[in-house]
Amino acid sequence: MNEKFERKRHFFEDRDIRLTEEHLEMSIPDEAFQNEEFVELLNEFIRVIKNYDDILSKGDKDEIMKIEKDLFRIEDGLKKELKKIPNTRPQLN
């Protein structure tokens, strides 16, 4: 794997990528980090999740709904990008 993309995976490992995998119910292979669209969506997902906790604590229903819509949009994008990668399947529960 290209060193640039190895660094990207390492960058996200430090930000609990396993929790993201659990949330998406999909594994994230190393190949995903070669997809710029995926990396951008993953970065946005992590940022929105951090903001979501702050918004929940404030209790602003309009902001909560806006963040939840963003999360659903980002999740759909991440799943679409992951499905483009061979051998990426949803995890069975």
pLDDT tens digits along 46-55: 888 877 878 8
State the pLDDT at residue 77: 94
State the pLDDT at residue 87: 62
State the pLDDT at residue 35: 86
3-state secondary structure of 52: helix
Structure tokens at 88: 């990426």
* Whether pLDDT at 72 is above 60: yes
- Asked if 5 contacts 70 with a C-beta cutoff of 8 angstroms, the reply is no
CA 43 to CA 19: how far, in whole Å? Answer: 14
CA distances from 22 to 12, 18, 26, 30, 90 (A): 14, 6, 7, 16, 10
pLDDT bucket at 74, cuts 50 / 70 / 90: very high
3-state secondary structure of 60: coil
